[in-house]
Structure 1
Amino acid sequence: MPAINETVAKVTDRVIRRSKEGRARYLDLIERQRDEGVHRPNLSCGNLAHGFAASGEDKATIRGGHAMNIGIVTAFNDMLSAHQPYGRYPEQIKIAARERGATAQVAGGVPAMCDGVTQGQDSMELSLFSRDVIAMSASVGLSHGMFEGALLLGICDKIVPGLLIGTLRFGHLPTILVPAGPMPSGLANKEKIRVRQLYAEGKVGREELLEAESASYHGAGTCTFYGTANSNQMMMEMMGLHMPGSSFVNPGAKLRQELTRAATHRITEIGWAKDGKENEDYRPLGLCVDEKSIVNAIVGLLATGGSTNHVIHIPAIARAAGITVDWDDMDALSRVVPLIASVYPNGAGDINYFHAAGGMPYVIRELIGAGLAHPDIMTIYGASLMDGAQEPFMEDDALVWKPAAEASHDDTLLKPVTDPFQPDGGMVLLHGNLGRATMKISAVKDEHRTIEAPCRVFDTQNAVGEAFKAGELDRDVVVVVRFQGPAANGMPELHKLTPPLGVLQDRGYRVALVTDGRMSGASGKVPAAIHSSPEAWHDGPLGKLRDGDVVRVCAHEGTLQALVDDAEWAARKQAPAPAEQWGTGRELFAMMRRHSDPAEMGGSAMLKEAGL
């Protein structure tokens, strides 16, 4: 194996040093939970009888206590295309478990909220904190002590981070995440964008827009653009928590079913005990997720131009395992990790084409081969992450794995590290008198990465839409949308702004977005300085901006600056925060908003109050 890149090594060492005390406490916790926690052998007869009362043919095996019982935590619902395939998984898993003399039970369900459905709606203000709810729901399911391993069924935006955060608090359990795969490709992405922008301009109606959207999102499976859901799957492969190459196999395929079966078989092999003896191949989640695997997740995100949401999710996941990472770590890695994937919205092809071009096995092999990813992590499947550089196939009705493709099958989607799409990663850290923010640059052309223009300040995204329709933004402009952070309103994604801002850019204006809110895994061609911290609700600097202030946003320099005289800037008072809005359940999340961490720490109330 090649030596690890110097910067990757330095960042990893820095994370290890910074996390020393927290990681030690975490490892002590999971060791105590393994030895002294709530387990089936320790349950009273009444406890145990409740736990297997409805287990049918598995009752005797669970009662006997000599075989693994697998806890299934599922995000199934049949309203969301990505999670609809999970409906049949528990029965498939139970059959596969019996093949290995084990059993499985659904430990619990977690909510699965779709940002695609709630985008631009009031309910989007519940989205980020649904991750805390998911983590707590997973914890409730696993708290019964009935299980010696866990399979996590989740795929989309907050679901995978939430499942990981919750299950890491039961880190003594071996755990595998089981994907469901993307829907087949639909309407071409360029055509979808064209219709959206025509609708924003009032040139086509709702029926034409709905027809285009329906042709894009048309069946069971994850949305096919490279947003947060598919970035989640990439991260799980980079951390060795999926069966190799399993992320992007379509639902309903025989290969998809066999990969789920293989995950079930594998979980029975990596428990604490096997055949009544301590298992030498014990692989608990809390040891699989360590400092090196977290760095690998960041490297994968940068190398593939993944979702901006993960600069919030990765720190939160890390904290649940006693690890501390920050945006400086990500920025340092971004300077040395090349962009080797170009998947819509960064490129033309979607995730199915990415998978066909070589997908994650190719990416893993390239990054390890260049010394940019740590191979020496505990995966759920092999001796190192390099064992994940394999692609699954069906041969003679059997599942087999073959080494990753030696060369990309489509160099418009995947390139080698030696000839990347760009020499640095897909994100940059911005800072200045407007705070610290992140920008996804993998989809932004070089000529649009520096914008200096008068700003127009808004407190809601709906107000931006109204100003656009009135023609008030037909000029060079930095659109500022503030009071969108975790404490203000739950930090909704502002992806609704993408079409109008894209129209302005296409008209030849120099346009940027600055906000303390989130954008999206679908962030596109308009430069967006997002997650600005501290947020305006906590007297962050966006609260000082006034219409007409000249703002400079520069990805090349890492600048986020209001070009206002220092004395005047210091003397300015904060704008008053807008009144809190009730309805759509938003009031029920008031406690989470009030106690939330800053975006850079993960934007979580649960982790903050837990002292993690």
Structure 2
Amino acid sequence: MHPTVEKVTERIVRRSRATREDYLSRMRELGRNSPQRSSLSCGNLAHGFAACSPGDKDTLTFMNKANVAIVTAYNDMLSAHQPYGGYPDAIRRAAQGMGSVAQVAGGTPAMCDGVTQGQPGMELSLFSRDTIAMSTAVALSHNMFDATLLLGICDKIVPGLLIGALSFGYLPTVLVPAGPMPSGLPNKEKQRIRQLYAEGKIGRDALLEAESQSYHSPGTCTFYGTANSNQLLVEVMGLHMPGAAFVNPDTPLRSALTQAATEQVIRLSKPNGGELGLADMVNEKSIVNALVALLVTGGSTNHTIHWIAIARAAGVIIDWSDYAELSSAVPSLTRIYPNGQEDVNAFHQAGGTPFLIRELLAGGYLHNDVQTIVGFGLDHYARMPALERDALVWRPAAEQSARPEVLRSLAEPFAPDGGLKVLNGNLGRGVIKVSAVAPEHHTIKAPAVVFDDQNDLKAAFDAGELNQDCIVVVRFQGPGANGMPELHKLTPYLGVLQDRGYRVGLVTDGRMSGASGKVPAAIHVYPEALEGGPLARIRNGDVIVLDARQGELSVLLSDRELAARTPEQPDLTSYHTGYGRELFGWFRRSVSHPERGASFFWNHDS
């Protein structure tokens, strides 16, 4: 193993010893009683299979056949999840072919950040993750099941499904993806048109046409945002079928992989002699593998929040220092939009996740000694699925990348590090992703221009007030203030300013998902402004230093002067009602800070 990966892993193991053992002890106790439906009364069981076919009822009467829980995030508004509509029937057929049963145990919400971006609904997005986790727990609470299939792809959905399923970690669990849509309008052209619209040079019709050419069919959006980062990380953790992440929807290969996932989770179930559950597969080493995969691919910064929460659900405690230390040691092996111009389809065609895993295993960057859904050893995942005469087979990963401008070997990395940095200073603690930021922009010192509402930035831009070197501060965007929405709406304006030759940066207690792209952005900063954090004391014109090289985020004021200022506290009540936001007040009051996973399951004192 690479010494830094080994060092970080050992530190996480030590830090997590008590919480991990407590979690495993609970899972062992629950697992002793499975199959769980054996403990149900006749009335309980009759309710549980009342709507089943006579054959399925006969199967469920006995305890020697598996019943698979399907937890689905299907809806037909979200393009990534629309293909899931037919999955339950396909899964039921596959289960019956194995002499078992599959039931839809429950559904979870699945909202689309692309639809809610810049809208009030976006303020529910982060909280939807923990809502999904609770929905998953409710679905599995009937104790009817011996295994679980999780149907979900997008931003908060996969983390929520995993957090919920880990409460039932004695059950074997497989995540079942649906794949990305075919490539549409090239990303460079999409970016160009968005900036033209921001400058007022084209109208809404031209912008809508470009967006419609980009997001044009069922399947996941093809840029490497949080949804596709989810898929890559889950696969590197061994929770998908090998190579399943980026196979397009509604293809024979995708159907074969879904059938194989169903058959495999049944083989892992206790009625079929299985002894391992999700708790055995999500451990310190598999979590580190996920972090390494995130960093070498320049994945979504949202996972500096979500994977902390997933790890805590398994009794594993990680923090941003773990990310930063790993990032300093692992190479950058991909260039996928927004860190490059090509999308995840090009990445898959270049060799995809199997090629990446093989390279990282060879370099000692990934732990091979982990349990996966297809057996012990992550090297099972250095294989690409294919159909041969309608039979699903796996072939060794490509020896060479077919697209070296998208995916490279360890011998020729794009950069020597992962491009994620932790920032500290008298403005608080945050993160920055610089994999898409030119080196000359890694450090900026400029006066602050302060906003308490992201929507005010456009008016300032249109008025020419931002035509200067500046660090834009967008505050009161943290989880306690308004649910920590992503601030993608800012990206085109900041990009235009930088293209005009101004030195521009962003500092916020909100999220950007790394989609700030070429503009340096200090994000997830805490203590958040709502709590009286330093951002609430910043005034227009204060000089801020954002230094990704040295990991500094500071305002050039003395500690005494900064402390003497009264924190500003705008009226945020308009963000707390309407569009269902009034129902989430207790989430805002209870949520932990980002480095604790921005979750109300694990508060500040836990």
Give the structure 1 partner of residue 409 of structure 2: 416
SS of the equivalent of 2:227 reads: helix
Alignment of 1:239-318 (within 5 A): 239-274=237-272, 279=273, 281-318=274-311
Give the structure 2 partner of residue 137 of structure 1: 135
Q: Does 1:596 align with 2:591?
A: yes
- Residue by residue over 1:44-85, the C-alpha shift from the partner in whole angstroms, topping out at 9 and shown as x without a partner, is 000000000101242221123320000000000000100000
Q: Does 1:7 align with 2:4?
A: yes
Give the structure 1 partner of residue 180 of structure 2: 182
Alignment of 1:47-86 (within 5 A): 47-56=44-53, 57-86=55-84
Contact 2:487-2:510 within 8 A present in 1 as well: yes
Give the structure 2 partner of residue 547 of structure 1: 540
Distance 1:607 1:33 in 2: 22
- Residue by residue over 1:258-299, the C-alpha shift from the partner in whole angstroms, topping out at 9 and shown as x without a partner, is 00000001011112242xxxx3x5220011000000101100
Letter in 2 for 1:42: S
SS of the equivalent of 1:363 reads: helix
Once structures 1 and 2 are overlaid, which stretch shifts more, 349-358 or 574-583? 574-583
Give the structure 1 partner of residue 102 of structure 2: 104
* TM-score, scaled to structure 1: 0.97
Distance 1:397 1:302 in 2: 36
Distance 1:165 1:549 in 2: 41
- The structure 1 residue matched to 2:391, chosen from 391, 398, 420, is 398
Contact 2:35-2:146 within 8 A present in 1 as well: no
What is the deviation of 1:38? 8.2
What is the deviation of 1:563? 1.1
Contact 1:304-1:426 within 8 A present in 2 as well: no
Once structures 1 and 2 are overlaid, which stretch shifts more, 410-419 or 518-527? 518-527
Contact 1:184-1:224 within 8 A present in 2 as well: yes
Distance 1:402 1:342 in 2: 24
What is the deviation of 1:139? 0.2
Contact 1:38-1:144 within 8 A present in 2 as well: no
Distance 2:34 2:602 in 1: 21
Q: Does 1:583 align with 2:578?
A: yes
SS of the equivalent of 1:453 reads: strand
- The structure 1 residue matched to 2:365, chosen from 355, 362, 372, is 372
Give the structure 2 partner of residue 123 of structure 1: 121
What is the deviation of 1:226? 0.1
Give the structure 2 partner of residue 162 of structure 1: 160
Contact 1:283-1:380 within 8 A present in 2 as well: no
Contact 2:327-2:420 within 8 A present in 1 as well: yes
What is the deviation of 1:514? 0.3
SS of the equivalent of 1:65 reads: coil
Distance 1:289 1:389 in 2: 19
Alignment of 1:205-244 (within 5 A): 205-244=203-242
Give the structure 1 partner of residue 320 of structure 2: 327
Give the structure 1 partner of residue 331 of structure 2: 338
Contact 1:134-1:166 within 8 A present in 2 as well: yes
Structure 2 unaligned residues grouped into runs of 5+: none
Identity of aligned residues (%): 60
What is the deviation of 1:607? 3.4
Letter in 1 for 2:545: R
SS of the equivalent of 2:44 reads: helix
Distance 1:574 1:566 in 2: 14
Contact 1:459-1:578 within 8 A present in 2 as well: no
What is the deviation of 1:377? 0.7
Distance 1:44 1:273 in 2: 19
Give the structure 1 partner of residue 471 of structure 2: 478
Distance 2:275 2:516 in 1: 40
Give the structure 1 partner of residue 530 of structure 2: 537
What is the deviation of 1:521? 4.8
What is the deviation of 1:438? 0.5
Alignment of 1:423-462 (within 5 A): 423-462=416-455
Letter in 2 for 1:585: G
What is the deviation of 1:383? 2.3
Q: Does 1:23 align with 2:20?
A: yes
What is the deviation of 1:120? 0.3
SS of the equivalent of 2:421 reads: strand
Contact 1:306-1:426 within 8 A present in 2 as well: no
- The structure 1 residue matched to 2:499, chosen from 506, 531, 542, is 506
Structure 1 unaligned residues grouped into runs of 5+: none
Contact 2:35-2:270 within 8 A present in 1 as well: no
Distance 1:83 1:412 in 2: 30
SS of the equivalent of 2:399 reads: coil
Letter in 2 for 1:607: W
Contact 2:339-2:435 within 8 A present in 1 as well: yes
- The structure 2 residue matched to 1:94, chosen from 76, 92, 95, is 92
Distance 1:521 1:109 in 2: 29
SS of the equivalent of 1:606 reads: coil
- The structure 2 residue matched to 1:193, chosen from 187, 191, 198, is 191
Contact 1:225-1:345 within 8 A present in 2 as well: yes
- The structure 2 residue matched to 1:35, chosen from 32, 35, 48, is 32
What is the deviation of 1:166? 0.3
Contact 1:489-1:580 within 8 A present in 2 as well: no
Contact 2:152-2:176 within 8 A present in 1 as well: yes
What is the deviation of 1:382? 2.1
- Residue by residue over 1:472-521, the C-alpha shift from the partner in whole angstroms, topping out at 9 and shown as x without a partner, is 10111100001111111100000110010011011111101100000125
Distance 2:276 2:603 in 1: 28
Distance 1:381 1:320 in 2: 23
Distance 1:38-1:464 versus aligned 2 partners, 3 A rule: farther
Distance 1:478 1:112 in 2: 34
Letter in 1 for 2:209: E
Q: Does 1:468 align with 2:461?
A: yes
